Amino acid sequence: GSLPMAEFTTLAKNTPADVLILDVRNPDEAQQGMIKGAVLIPDEELSARIAELPNGKRIVTHCLTGIRAEMAYHKLKEAGYNAAFLNNEIEVAKDGSFKITPR
């Protein structure tokens, strides 16, 4: 389920129609900036809000460090979603640009 940094970068910069970038950070973290087109559902709300996500898309999760992204990935897989996650640290700027740091 873990995506290489380069693949995540490609998907996040030019998200195909069949992919959804899911930001599972807390709202206060997301206020600092979000990837353009990403959907914010904090990990602790995901189980209750999972029906908001489209079933026919690949869902790619990310958070600040990769830990919540992996937890969200497991919840999505259990619910039958095609999911993947970024297992790296990521900083997102106000303009939607981002910097990924290897773990």
Kindly report, residue by residue over 72-89, the tens digit of the pLDDT: 999 999 999 999 999 999
pLDDT tens per residue, range 55-77: 999 999 999 999 999 999 999 99
pTM recorded for the entire structure: 0.97
Q: Which of 68, 71, 75 is nearest to 89 (CA)?
A: 68
